[in-house]
Structure 1
Amino acid sequence: MRKMYTLELESDPLVEQRRVGDHEKKQNPTTLNSILSPKELFSLEVWRASLAELLGTAVLVFAMDTIVISSYETQTNMPHLIMSFLIGVTITVLLLATFPISGGHINPVISLAAALSGVISLSRAVVYILAQCVGGVLGALALQAVVNTNIEQTFSLGGCTLTIVVPSATGPSVIGLRTIQALWLEIICTFVFLFGSIWIAFDKRQARHLGRVVVCSIIGVVVGLIVFISTTVTSAKGYAGVGMNPARCLGPALIRGGHLWNGHWVFWAGPAIACGAFALYTKLIPSELLHN
């Protein structure tokens, strides 16, 4: 049976080590070569896993952007609540679908956090992140191909926005969230996401005890809650809520362009800072809690 790098979520007392690619990793990497693991760039297993990440992210972007558009376009009484619930369910299903193949990242944030925490190599993380970005673009392209042009323009293809331009008595006016506010939201919400859900997957003993379905469901629930909180606590029209997934924000920005590029860097810088803080936190935890 082909070995997976991913965390074992099944209860198996005989499994003592995390599997990484075609070899097993007993503890945190201590050398530059083991951290980078450049040989994984030539591993067929890594590229097969990256294909799962690409397809999973493409489906994720298509589904999430469709959910965002439909939640607001139908003018329901509680669009934020419905949108958050559907996003949580979507993420749970896609994590379960991609987990057996790639570990179920479908998000550069998870891949970067896993690499900085020593769960996967930097080489694997780079391949995954590139695949996720390509998947994000493909998902946005697929949505653009089927959505009405007016809806695409009105809802910015469901992309990540900080502000929008609206007409007013004195001319075009920009409404939304200030860049510094959005940056802090990205940092805080991404860290909460990592600490409150991804940490459970990285904690091998807890992940085994809970099981794959429960872990993936927890991640989906946490994401849904954070999306709901970020879109309601700000009450800023024009702000689409936290991204927490740069690949999801990149796809619509490349395909739709325009104001989606305004402050786009926030959706990369915020999660990156949060990943660094989370990795630092994991270094303060005894290694046996994270890797045994």
Structure 2
Amino acid sequence: MAKKFIAELLGTAILVLFGCGAAVIAGADGTTGIGLTGISLAFGLAIVAAAYGLGPISGAHLNPAVSLGALLGGRIGGGTFAVYAAAQVIGAILGALVLYIIASGSAGWDGGLGQNGYGAGYLGEYGLASALVFEFVMTFLFVTVILGATQAGAPAAMAGLAIGLTLAAIHLVGIKVTGVSVNPARSIGPAVFVGGKALADLWVFLVAPLAGGALAGIVHKAGLTRAD
């Protein structure tokens, strides 16, 4: 279990550092930076890297919503879920800390760390209902893909790629809506250091993704999204 804890911690740190780092350091402006497409790919590629590098140890959940889906889907037990969730949150905070140290070294840094949010002043200024629906539905779909790609009979060698591309696609659709969480740990890490609105909005990125992941696990357990 210690190895699994470390794998989930490192993997989630990779996700936050690569994904949020792409937004903060490489830039969302497609003219002078990598743009929204580049940021989307960074999140997806981070998942691919962690899945193949650390997946054989822990399954590379990197996300409490995924672990909750796995728990309710009958893949893991309650103790494993607790260990994974703790490791994921700690890993996200560490990843955000490294990003904070790097970003704060730039005179042009605006204080952001790729934090999630919604409403006035945040990206596309989508309202609360839009944020809740987006995060719930996309997390449900994301966890459904993960459970399907890792079920018995699925081509194991392709699972990491399928999962990473799904996360990239979700970002392509939704960065303007919420910055895309679908992962409570990914939201907690940057919010801890940014504070203010990021912390005030954080409940959305805890409740909606966990509810979406839970539903995906329940539906999978019921056999509606299982091959058998």
The two structures have a TM-score, normalised by structure 1, of 0.71
Q: Does 1:56 align with 2:5?
A: no
CA distance in 2, matches of 1:150, 1:253: 21
* Structural mapping, 1:63-102, within 5 Å: 63-69=18-24, 70-72=26-28, 75-76=31-32, 79-102=35-58
Q: State how far apart, in whole Å, the 1-side matches of 2:178 and 2:21 are.
A: 13
CA distance in 1, matches of 2:34, 2:102: 25
Runs of 4+ aligned residues of structure 1 deviating over 4 Å after TM superposition are 149-152, 286-290
1:1-292 pair list within 5 angstroms: 46-69=1-24, 70-72=26-28, 75-76=31-32, 79-148=35-104, 151-153=108-110, 156-163=112-119, 165=121, 176-201=125-150, 203-206=151-154, 210-212=155-157, 214-231=158-175, 239-285=177-223, 289=227
Runs of at least 5 residues in structure 2 that lack an aligned partner in the other structure: none
Q: How many residues were matched structurally?
A: 226
Paired AA for residue 256 in structure 1: V
**CA deviation digits over 1:181-210, x for unaligned, max 9?**
100100111111122343221x2112xxx1
| Letter paired with 2:41 | F
TM-score for both structures, normalised by structure 2:
0.89
Give the CA deviation at 1:263. 1.9
Asked which structure has the greater CA Rg, the reply is 1
**Whole-Å Cα distance in 1 between the matches of residues 180 and 225 of structure 2?**
31
User: In the alignment, is the contact (CA less than 8 A) between 2:44 and 2:165 conserved in 1?
Assistant: yes
What's the counterpart of residue 12 of structure 1?
none
Amino acid at match of 2:213: C
- Amino acid in the other structure paired with 1:185: F
d(CA) in 2 for partners of 1:256 and 1:288? Answer: 40
Once residues 179 and 222 of structure 1 are traced to their aligned partners in structure 2, the CA distance between those partners, rounded to angstroms, is 24
Distance 1:216 1:49 in 2: 17
Q: Distance in 1 between matches of 2:103 and 2:215?
A: 39
Distance 1:129 1:92, change over 3 A: same
Q: CA deviation at 1:287?
A: 11
Letter paired with 1:60: L
- Residue 259 of structure 1 aligns with an amino acid whose one-letter code is K
Higher strand share: 1
Q: Once superposed, what is the RMSD of the aligned Cα atoms?
A: 2.4
